[in-house]
């Protein structure tokens, strides 16, 4: 699906054409879809829309950061929704997907029927400092040493900026070395226990550099958000049903962000999952996410059995590579 600025998105639909519309927002930014994401959606109940965000996965150009901001992605969501003829949909986001989901819902609350948010990331300064400036070293000292090893001592006052310069610099070989270090840091903190397959994926040459470039691009710019913007905008969506799920020992997205969001959004349900980390693949997180999805869906299903429909589609622009 072309969305402008030279970007073409990979989009797929799965499930029932007359099912409950839901859009899945992957993490990263830049992480892209994994096939297992479809497993959250009962194909007898949902019309699920999944897509690779700009520069991610099968979207092209791969790893591109030009014309790639939160607000470009918000506009892309509207393009996809209109193209598919969906009037409104449930928003399901994990990690960075919670950031994008909140930004989209606050910009277009009339197009959202409810939200399921897993592993809340608000991209405030404190969250970025926790992950990229040494807060997490108290829990991951040996991995932090690996992460900062390439950074000259004179640049360690801003580790994120040092990485960003090399990842986006003219020396491709150097960028790949730094990308592998970046990918390892992301991977070892993405689950309660390190996952060898995830580690291999995050540090593979074909994956590490494009993802690290997009991630660092968004992190350096604070997600293209003002400080606290997503908390300050909660009043625009407080009427929507929502469940927030966060692992108690989530190293990427510590539960304080989910807690702060729930304090500003008392109508939302907050569930902190004991003995769990960040990954949606962890059984305890997966169970709570499925429970949350079921609860929110039950509140948004229409008696007529045709939830969320209402705008004409655009059959002249079919989705390349769509799955049914």
Smallest CA-to-CA distance from 73 within 87, 91, 48, 86 is with 91
Alpha-carbon distance of 114 to 271, in angstroms, equals 16
* 278 assigned to active site: yes
Residue of 190, 207, 250, 309 marked catalytic: 250
Alpha-carbon distance of 151 to 185, in angstroms, equals 14
Residue of 216, 278, 279, 309 marked catalytic: 278
Residue of 59, 88, 95, 279 marked catalytic: 95
* 250 assigned to active site: yes
Residues with Cβ within 8 Å of 287's Cβ and at least 6 positions away in sequence, in order, are: none
52 contacts 9 by C-beta, under 8 angstroms: yes
Max Cα-Cα span within the chain: 64
Alpha-carbon distance of 87 to 110, in angstroms, equals 9
91: exposed, middle or buried (C-beta count within 10 Å: 0-12, 13-18, 19+)? buried
The distance of Cα 180 from the centroid of its chain, to the nearest Å, equals 21
- HSE-CB for 185 with a 13 A CA cutoff: 29
Catalytic residues: 95, 250, 278
């Amino acid at each position: 699906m072309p969305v402008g600025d030279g970007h073409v998105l990979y989009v797929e639909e799965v499930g029932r054409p007359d099912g409950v519309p839901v859009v899945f927002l992957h993490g990263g930014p830049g992480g892209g879809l994994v096939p297992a994401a479809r497993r959250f959606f009962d194909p007898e109940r949902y019309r699920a829309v999944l897509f690779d965000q700009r520069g991610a996965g099968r979207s092209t150009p791969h790893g591109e950061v030009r014309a790639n901001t939160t607000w470009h992605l918000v506009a892309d969501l509207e393009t996809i929704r209109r193209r598919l003829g969906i009037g409104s949909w449930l928003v399901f986001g994990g990690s960075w997907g919670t950031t994008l989901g909140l930004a989209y819902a606050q910009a277009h609350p009339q197009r959202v029927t409810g939200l399921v948010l897993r592993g809340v990331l608000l991209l405030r300064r404190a969250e970025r400092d926790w992950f990229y400036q040494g807060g997490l070293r108290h829990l991951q000292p040996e991995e932090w040493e690996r992460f900062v090893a390439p950074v000259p001592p004179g640049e360690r006052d801003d580790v994120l900026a040092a990485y960003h310069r090399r990842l986006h610099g003219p020396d491709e070989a150097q960028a790949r070395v730094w990308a592998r270090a970046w990918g390892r840091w992301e991977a070892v903190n993405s689950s309660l226990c390190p996952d060898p397959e995830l580690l291999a994926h995050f540090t593979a040459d074909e994956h590490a550099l494009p993802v690290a470039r997009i991630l660092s691009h968004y992190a350096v710019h604070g997600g293209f958000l003002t400080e606290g913007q997503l908390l300050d905008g909660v009043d625009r969506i407080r009427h929507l049903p929502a469940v927030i799920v966060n692992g108690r020992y989530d190293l990427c997205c510590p539960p304080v962000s989910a807690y702060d969001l729930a304090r500003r959004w008392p109508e939302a349900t907050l569930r902190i999952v004991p003995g769990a980390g960040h990954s949606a693949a962890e059984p305890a997180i997966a169970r709570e996410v499925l429970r949350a999805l079921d609860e929110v869906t039950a509140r948004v299903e229409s008696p007529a059995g045709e939830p969320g429909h209402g705008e004409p589609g655009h059959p002249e622009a079919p989705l390349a590579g769509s799955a049914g």
